[in-house]
Amino acid sequence: MRILRNYILKELIGPFFLSIIVFTFVLLIGNLLKLADLIITKGVDVVSVARLFFYLLPYLLSYTIPMATLTACLLGFGRLASDNEITAIRASGISIFRIATPVIIMSIIISLFLIPLNDQLIPKARFISRSILKEIGMKRPTAFLEAGTFIKDFENYIIFIYAIEGNKLRNIRIYQPQEGKQTRTVVAEEGEIIPIPEKNIIKLKLINGTSDEPDPRNPENFCKLNFKTYYMTLNSTEVTDSGKLEKKPKEMSLSELEIECEKMKKAGISKDDLGHIFTEIHKKISLSFAPLAFVLIGIPIAIKTRRGERTIGFGISLAIIVIYWVILAGTTACSLKGSIPAWLAMWTPNIVFASFGILMLCFTGDKGA
């Protein structure tokens, strides 16, 4: 059995690492384009972007490792089945469950490795990434100002910019809602952003426009004033002060989530309103055991399809993964709404896939037992 175990595991190791590389590269492409845009068009320094790239990798691995485990099973067992090696092994009196046992054990080891990755490393990486983004936002505010959208990140102001070129802005609309009064509006043809990091403020130099100013005869109303140059100060403390960042649930470890949950309960928040925290707790653990569910369903599918080609293996793998994430997205939404318990919502994809896989293994046959 030791020779057979090593032979099967050796058959899966190559596809496993190849799949990690392929899937990680595919997921990186979209992010690399965004990161490159920060350097080329936004002028963000290479060191900051490299740090963002580094802290992005753990997050991607939490997805690519389970995906690679599934693909390795499909490719490895598909090749063994297509060459009739599975049939020969079973004819010698070895059951399909004994053949699958070393791979199942391997998937459990991978799952145990993913627990600290999802619990400790990824939350820290997420929080550090957000801190870096805030630092970049203070040094290069235009890096995170998107043209053609309403920007609500600055206190008391809503900003709309039609075009951004470096620090230069074109066609600017600034709205200042005021409770019980009309919304103040400032319009300018051109503008320039002047960051002042030491004071946590951003100055806007506006050129050729109009501004709503209080009417001296009736302060409740505004009158329009034309200007050639107009300066506005935006407070960016809430948005960019990384030293005061509070962790979001996705940036917390399991122990921190439990502490946060206790704080909320002591503050009088009911258990029913803490669904997002319970969802995040169970999600971290359930996603860690996705490789086990993928192995249980991947082995019988590979044996039944009997296809060892890489393109077909990757195609089947992607189809299964899409189904998994669609189920997870649906159950997550139900959990957040309180329709079903968080533990059931987050474990449903694993339970469905594992149960279906075990049934398929049983139907595949165990005559060699």
| Amino acid letter, residue 125 | A
* Same domain as 257, residue 167: no
| Cβ-based neighbour number of residue 65 at 10 Å | 22
Q: What is the pLDDT of residue 180?
A: 67
| Cβ-based neighbour number of residue 191 at 10 Å | 24
In a domain, 241, yes or no: no
Vertex 329 angle, CA 305 and 65, to 5°: 55
In a domain, 242, yes or no: no
Q: What is the pLDDT of residue 41?
A: 64
Q: What does pTM read for this prediction? A: 0.73
Question: How far, in Å, CA of 330 to CA of 184, rounded?
Answer: 42
Question: How far, in Å, CA of 279 to CA of 286, rounded?
Answer: 10
In a domain, 271, yes or no: yes
Residue pair 64/20 in contact by the 8 Å Cβ criterion: yes
* Same domain as 218, residue 112: no
The segments of the chain whose pLDDT lies below 50 read: 238-243, 366-369
Q: Provide the domain count of the chain.
A: 2
* Same domain as 127, residue 260: yes
End residue of a domain, out of 196, 212, 235: 235
Q: In what order do the strands lie in the sheet with 150-151?
A: 150-151, 158-165, 168-176, 184-196, 201-215, 218-235
Question: How far, in Å, CA of 53 to CA of 352, rounded?
Answer: 34
Q: What is the pLDDT of residue 142?
A: 60
Closest by CA to 313, choosing from 45, 81, 78, 17, is 78
Residue pair 149/172 in contact by the 8 Å Cβ criterion: no
Average confidence score pLDDT of the chain: 83
| Amino acid letter, residue 143 | A
List, for residues 319-346, the tens digit of each pLDDT value: 999 999 999 999 998 988 888 888 999 9
In a domain, 272, yes or no: yes
Closest by CA to 69, choosing from 111, 35, 29, is 111
Question: How far, in Å, CA of 17 to CA of 211, rounded?
Answer: 60
* Same domain as 114, residue 91: yes
In a domain, 147, yes or no: no
Question: Structural domain of residue 271, as residue ranges?
Answer: 2-138+247-364
End residue of a domain, out of 179, 202, 235: 235
DSSP state letter for 185: E
- Site of tokens 């070393």: 102
Strand partners, 187: 173, 210
- The SS3 assignment for 83 reads coil
In a domain, 351, yes or no: yes
Q: Is 159 left (phi over 0), alpha (psi -120 to 50) or beta?
A: beta
Residue pair 193/169 in contact by the 8 Å Cβ criterion: yes
Vertex 279 angle, CA 278 and 285, to 5°: 95
As a residue count, the chain comes to 369
